[in-house]
Amino acid sequence: MRKVNFIKFFSLAVISMSLVFTTACEKEDEGITASIVGSWTITETTMDMTIDGVSWIDYMVNELGLTAETAEIEWTEMQSETNMEGTVEFKDGGVFTSAFEDEDPELGSWTLDHEKLTINVDGDDTMVFEVITLSETRLVIKLTEIDSDDMDQDGTEEAVEMIMHMTFVR
């Protein structure tokens, strides 16, 4: 299982728009009931991705001619790349650090406005997450990216939507 650091992970999420992921996740309804300040350990990451409104596996089978078995194998391999181990610490004053296995720690800034968590990594990459759950012991965030890409190389760009859920505990 490949481990990636915080910035690489989020870069992978954005770049992965062309690789395409899909997994079913349901929205939780707990909302924000605690402070985000503290140290959080990642426990789960899932990705959903559709191409022109069709799941990644169905698109690969129906549009690109992969067998269902091959599409499932590729899907599983892509999903395993999103798994990572480590922590993120949100500090008072809007600063965070991340420490992931075999990677140098990273520094960035954060703001939480209602249910929108904005993260800026090293003053370079900014991402806005929806906070699904924030309790004393659990944080679930969601990133939605919408883009277009010529997935089947036919000269026409397809609409690609990627949704990533990350679950943390403290």
Give dist(CA 31, CA 117) in Å, integer: 13
Q: Is residue 155 part of a domain?
A: yes
Token pair recorded at residue 169: 């505990």
Q: Quote the pLDDT of residue 23.
A: 33
* Residue 75: its H or E element: helix 68-80
Q: Quote the pLDDT of residue 30.
A: 62
Q: Per the confidence metrics, is the pTM higher than 0.85?
A: no
Q: Is residue 1 part of a domain?
A: no
Q: Which is more confident, 162 or 78?
A: 162
Average pLDDT rounded to a whole number, residues 148-158: 90
Confidence of residue 132 (pLDDT cuts 50, 70, 90): very high
Q: Which is more confident, 140 or 114?
A: 140
Q: What is the CATH number of the domain that holds 73?
A: 2.40.128
Which of 24-33, 55-64, 106-115, 118-127 has the lowest average pLDDT?
24-33
Q: Quote the pLDDT of residue 27.
A: 41
How far out from the chain centre does Cα 79 lie?
Answer: 11
Q: Which is more confident, 101 or 141?
A: 141
Q: Is the pLDDT of residue 109 over 80?
A: yes
Confidence of residue 5 (pLDDT cuts 50, 70, 90): very low
Q: Is the pLDDT of residue 70 over 80?
A: yes
Domain residue limits at 97 = 6-169
- DSSP secondary structure string for all residues of 42-66: EEEEEEEEEETTEEHHHHHHHTT--
Total number of domains in the chain = 1
Q: Is residue 148 part of a domain?
A: yes
